[in-house]
Structure 1
Amino acid sequence: MKPTESDASAARASGSWAPPSAAGDLDAPLRLKNDGDVVAAIPYLLGFQPRESIVALVFGDKALITTVRFPIEIADAPAELAHRVDTIGRQFPGSSWVFAGYSTDRRRVERAISQMTTMIGADRVLESVYAHAGRYWSLSCTVPQCCPPEGRPIDVEGSPIAARAVLAGMQVLDSRSDLDASIRPPRGWLGRAALRRVEDARTVVRGLELHEIETSFAELVRHGLEDPRQIVPTQAAMLAAMAYYPSARDQALRLLTRHDAQRHVDFWRAVAQLTPRECQPPVLGLLGLAAWVNGEGALQVVCIERAEKVAPHHPLISLLAEINAAAAPPDLWDELRADLFGTQA
């Protein structure tokens, strides 16, 4: 079963489904007030337009804690679905949920959301929505005059939610496959050339002391973070060769903070695009962690899935999978980083 995709977004939400609160005073870029806002925001929260999916928005005190995408086929495995929902529910006790289903089959969405509502408890579900072909329908509304049978049009690009999301630096890819393509390794003769560069880099690295590897790796990372667009193939090869060493990877993680996580995502994505498939797992592990800290859960899962095909038991990928399974929020990194390195965000 594929991992669920947890995007613990920094976005805030004030909902029309609950009594008013001070949420309107928050300075975050997104405020979700109704079903239309939810449907408009979800592609930006995930980073791509979902299809054949159930998306759960999990709220605490009207603040959006995390956004999780479940592949719709997970509803065909009730035990697995129950485990996923229970894990998230225990991670965020007392939370409230909003469900949005995306599929050509409305009945399948309704069955899946009904299962999840039963699992989480109907009193904790604020709203459920079905979206398809540019329109959406409330699955919770019982007032015939309120919701037209033909649904309401989705105006994602023209909505105020989209404008605020773009200003906040969010972007939407057309599909999840586009997200996967953004970290695809070089192929054909480019892939063979990339592998030769990594082999040459490994020869150089084997001649260094461990402390030299750690120092050189940290310097390469710092230099690359200044402008990820300037990474060249020989630098990427050296980074991939050095990332084999756990203590070298620690140097990159020491530099990672929530404040500059986007730069780390851009940097490690650029390195991944220049790294041959056989050598990608540690690079994808570093990219996946940066994606998690940056609130890009879908990218985190894509990194897990791609790396597991090459090195299913790589420790960094296993850690990423545990983080995903627990739906751990990005702010947990502040605590982990302090524990690991004795540093503050």
Structure 2
Amino acid sequence: MLAVSGTPAHAAVMTSLGVPDHPSTRPGLPRPATARVRDPGELVAVVPVLLGFHPGDSLVVIGIGDAGDDSGGRLGLTLRIDLPPPADTVPVCRAAAETMSASSPAGAVVIVLGGSAGAGVPRPDIATAVTDELEAIGIGVHATIWARDTAAGAPWACYPPCGCSGELPDPAATVAAAAAVAAGQVVYADRAELERQVTPADAERLRRRDRLLNRVFDAAAVPGVSPASEQATLDAALVAAEAGRLELDDAGVVALAVALQVPEVRDRALVECVGRRAAAAEQLWAALTRELPDPEAADAATLLAVAALARGDGALANVALNRAQQAWPGHRLSAVLGEAVASGFGPVQVRRWLGTDG
């Protein structure tokens, strides 16, 4: 994990801060060694790893430790919100504090990204409002930091009374980034690049597949599907993905959509998210999320979210869960998972849920 050390000027506000190591759920990968974050600039540089992408104009609130745990030092929920206009600052910050409270952190760090430092640090209204809202519900704020963005060399500064400042190190060169790469996490250039991982394919192609699926599901002559044969369909796709030759034509997409309607196959698909073929499974779920029409895309997107969570990629998981709800509003499993993620559900909890933690 990452822990914080620093100059005496930062000791009072920064010593309890730590960053989770995002342990890999794949066998054979070593657990990252402990490393130290020496100043607020290094902390800001870790934000892209925590979110999975480089955020633009954003309020980022990072939960620290657990209210009932004296071990401290570990990061919990990391929350990102677009910077609100001044008129909306207080209600947005109140909502952020309420969301953060669901994970019961012992404390928090507030980071404001965007704008240019001139006569003073930008958007002190946001830093003040979110600090007031967090402290009003019993969450102490260890530090409030501004940075122009998360790129190497970007200026950063602490809000008063600290007033320290500097330039960000290269985020890609941090120990946190190295740990994320070792665990299989990808850090995207921005949220738009992340969202493209689940962007639906060509509209006409999806309409054609929707018609094909309707014919299959509406065919009165089709008897009940066989779990064994549908499992074979899934296995063949996973083997192809693992070998780097996954191709999803109309017939293949329809066959997999039908297979995932079988409860036994869906259960097996969930376990594949944390098994030896986890990387191949994630590749397949991502492809199906893009290539399936609505509402069938919801099942694939939910599987993608589980696979992403299993390796600590909360950013991709959230994007996938949003896609699932767009494809099928009210989709039960994705809704339940979304609530769990907001409360800190992560790799360890995924393995326990799927019965693979031992």
Query: What TM-score do the two structures reach when normalised by structure 2?
Result: 0.74
Structure 1 distance, partners of 2:328, 2:167, is 46
Answer whether contact 2:148 2:155 (CA < 8 A) is retained: yes
* Counterpart among 5, 8, 14 of residue 3 in structure 2: 14
The equivalent residue for 1:84 is 99
Deviations 1:176-203 (A, max 9, x none): 1221111111123333344355456657
The equivalent residue for 1:49 is 54
- Give the letter aligned to residue 37 of structure 2: L
Deviations 1:118-155 (A, max 9, x none): 24546x4332211214221123652x5xx24xx53453
The equivalent residue for 1:318 is 335
Deviations 1:298-317 (A, max 9, x none): 22221222222231111222
* Counterpart among 117, 130, 151 of residue 113 in structure 1: 130
Change (3 A) 1:58 1:261: farther
Structure 1 distance, partners of 2:37, 2:207, is 48
How many residues end up aligned between the 2 structures? 318
Structure 2 distance, partners of 1:251, 1:49, is 34
The equivalent residue for 2:8 is none
Give the Å deviation of 1:280.
0.8
* Counterpart among 38, 57, 69 of residue 80 in structure 2: 69
2:317 aligned with 1:300 = yes
SS in structure 1 of the partner of residue 288 of structure 2: helix
* Structure 1 unpaired stretches of 5+: 1-11
Structure 2 distance, partners of 1:174, 1:132, is 16
Give the Å deviation of 1:245.
3.7
SS in structure 1 of the partner of residue 188 of structure 2: coil
The equivalent residue for 1:181 is 196
The equivalent residue for 1:211 is 227
SS in structure 2 of the partner of residue 328 of structure 1: coil
2:143 aligned with 1:136 = no
SS in structure 2 of the partner of residue 331 of structure 1: helix
Deviations 1:246-272 (A, max 9, x none): 443112113332776444332211222
SS in structure 2 of the partner of residue 88 of structure 1: coil
SS in structure 1 of the partner of residue 346 of structure 2: coil
Structure 2 distance, partners of 1:20, 1:103, is 23
Give the Å deviation of 1:216.
3.2
Between structures 1 and 2, the one with greater helix share: 1
* Structure 2 unpaired stretches of 5+: 6-13, 22-30, 66-71, 116-121
The equivalent residue for 1:289 is 306
SS in structure 1 of the partner of residue 102 of structure 2: helix
2:37 aligned with 1:32 = yes
Structure 2 distance, partners of 1:186, 1:323, is 29
Give the Å deviation of 1:106.
2.1
Give the Å deviation of 1:344.
4.4
Answer whether contact 2:62 2:78 (CA < 8 A) is retained: yes
SS in structure 2 of the partner of residue 309 of structure 1: helix
RMSD of Structure 2 on Structure 1 (CA): 3.5
Structure 1 distance, partners of 2:275, 2:77, is 16
Answer whether contact 2:97 2:130 (CA < 8 A) is retained: no
Give the Å deviation of 1:79.
5.4
Structure 2 distance, partners of 1:34, 1:201, is 59
The equivalent residue for 1:335 is 352
Deviations 1:191-244 (A, max 9, x none): 334435545665799444353465335524542552465242233332223223
Structure 2 distance, partners of 1:112, 1:285, is 35
Structure 1 distance, partners of 2:97, 2:78, is 17
SS in structure 1 of the partner of residue 2 of structure 2: coil
